[in-house]
Amino acid sequence: MSSSAESRERILSRLYNAQQYGRDAYVPQKKVWTIRNRPKEKNITEFMERMGAVRTEVYRTKGTEWVAELQKLVEERGQKTLLHAPSTPTGKVLAEKWKKKSPCKLVTWKDSIEEFKDDLFACDGAVTGCIGGIAESAAVILWPTEEEPRLMSIVPPLHVVVVEADKIYTSFQDAIKKLKWNTSMPTNALLISGPSKTADIELILQFGVHGPTDLVVFITE
C-alpha cells in the first residue's frame, strides 16, 4: 500500500529528527534484573507451591505413573473425551497405558483447524507435553508444534500438562537463556500459569472464562 509506505517515511523521518533521544543524548546505563539459579529440589518445591496458589493442581509422579493418576482423576470427574497427540513422547505413553475400557476416550487431532474445529470445541480436555516450567513465576512453557497445535491448551475446558522435573528452571530469565529463546523462537510461544480467569465482576477472581477451567500439571522424573 503506497500510503503505508509514505506514512512509514514520514514517521521514521520525524523520529530520526527528534531532538530528545538523538543518538548523542544521554541515556542512563541499562540495569538488568537477575535471579540466581537454585538447586533442582528448591525449584520444584517453589514451582508446586506457586502453581498451587492460583488453583492449578500439581502432582509429582515417577515415570509413567501419571497416566494412571490422570485416568482416575478424569473418570471421577466424568470426562468423556481427552485430546492427545500420540506422536509425541507424552501422547505415546498416554496411549500405551490408557485402559481401553475407560469411559473417557482418547481422541486425536485430525487435519487442520478448519476441518477439526467442531470436534475441537466439543472436546472435554486435552493432554500436552511442554518444554519446561518456571519456578519463580510459576508457569509452564509451551512451544506448540504440528503434533500439539496451539489450541489444544486453550479450547478444551481441562488442560493437562506433563513437565519433566529436570526442566523446571529457576526463573524466566534462565529459561530464556537455556532454551536459546532469542534464536529459536517458534511461531507461537506461551507461558501458562493457571486456569483461565477474570476479575471483571467486582474484582472477584473467577475461573474458566474463555479457556480451561482446570489446569492439571504432572511433574515426572
Partner 1 sequence: MASNEKFNFAQSVAEALADSQLRANFRFATDTLIQRRGTVFASPEETNFLRDVGSSMKKDVLANLPDLLERFEAKCIKNGIVVHWAETAKDANEIILSILNEKSAKKVVKGKSMASEEIHLNAYLEEHDKEVVETDFGEFIIQLCNEPPSHIIVPAVHKNRKQIAEVLAEHVEGMEYTEDVDIMLENVRNTLREHFKTADAGISGVNFGIVETGSLCLVENEGNGRMCTTVPPLHIALMGIEKLIENVEDIPAIYRLLCGSATGQRITTYFNMISGPRKKDERDGPKEVHLVLLDNGRSRIMNDPQLGDVLKCIRCGTCLNHCPVFTRIGGHAYGSTYPGPIGEILVPQLEGLNPKGAIATASSLCDACSEACPVRIPIPEIIRRMRDESYGHGDPNSVAGYGYKKNCVESMVWRGWKWSQTSPFMNKVMLKGLALFGKWIPVVGPLKSWMSVRSKPTFGKNSLKDLVKKEGVRHE
When the beta carbons of 18 and 68 are compared against partner 1, the nearer one is: 18
Judged by CB under 8 A, the chain residues 101 through 140 that form the site for partner 1 are 109, 111-114, 116-118, 121, 137-139
Query: Interaction with partner 1 in 67-86: which residues (CB under 8 A)?
Result: none
Give the DSSP letter of residue 86.
T
Could you tell me the smallest distance in angstroms from the CB atom of residue 100 to partner 1? Answer: 27
Closest CB to partner 1 among residues 4, 78? 4
Among 62, 75, 87, 185, binds partner 1 (CB under 8 A): 185
Site string for partner 1, 23-62 (x = CB under 8 A): x-x-xxxxxxx----------------x---x--------
Provide the sign of the torsion angle of the four alpha carbons 121, 122, 128, 132, taken in this order. positive
Binding part of the chain for partner 1, among 38-46, 87-95, 99-107, 148-156 by CB under 8 A, reads 148-156
Q: Which of 214, 217, 218 is nearest to 66 (CA)?
A: 218
Burial string for 72-89 (b: 16+ CB within 10 Å, else e) reads ebbeeeebebbbbbeebe
Give the whole-angstrom CA distance, residue 171 versus residue 177. Answer: 10
Of the pair 76, 146, the CB lying nearest partner 1 is at 146
Tell me which residue of 134, 145, 75 sits closest to 106, measured CA to CA. Answer: 75
Shortest distance, position 93 Cβ to partner 1, whole Å: 22
Nearby residues of 111 by Cβ (< 8 Å), 6 or more positions away: none
Q: In this structure, are residues 214 and 57 in contact, taking their beta carbons and an 8 Å threshold?
A: yes
Q: CB-wise, 68 or 199, nearer to partner 1?
A: 199
* Strand, helix or coil for residue 104: coil
Figure out which of the listed residues 95, 131, 165, 190 binds partner 1, where binding follows CB under 8 A. Answer: 190
Give, as ranges, the residues between 202 and 221 that touch partner 1 (CB under 8 A): 202-204, 206, 208-212
Asked if 2 interacts with partner 1 (CB under 8 A), we say no
